[in-house]
Amino acid sequence: MCTSRYHSFELEVPDATLPGVTAALAPLGVTFTETVPGRAVCSLRGTIPARHVSRAERTLPGLTRGEAAWWSRTAGEQPLS
């Protein structure tokens, strides 16, 4: 069975940028596990293939006017689908 390394992430973005952020991250293989809306900021959690972490980090500032907060950490391996 083939596996790929993944990171779990937490992300905070301005509410108005949520649709663009999720649309940009989905093609990177992101799986969203939790979305918590707030008054002005939305919090997201999920997993992303490790090979796409740096691309996500480079993409977020342009999508969020530089107002995103991103944390990620190694989360092990998952089978490729």
Q: How much is the pLDDT for 75? A: 86
Extents of the domains making up the chain: 3-42+52-79
Q: How much is the pLDDT for 4? A: 85
Q: What's the whole-model pTM score?
A: 0.85
Phi, psi of 13 (to 5 degrees): -135, 155
- What architecture is the 3-42+52-79 domain classified under in CATH? 2-Layer Sandwich (3.30)
Q: How much is the pLDDT for 1? A: 67
Task: Kindly give the parts of the chain with pLDDT less than 70.
Answer: 1, 78-81
Alpha-carbon distance values, 67 to 29, 50, 77 (Å): 23, 23, 30
Q: How much is the pLDDT for 77? A: 76
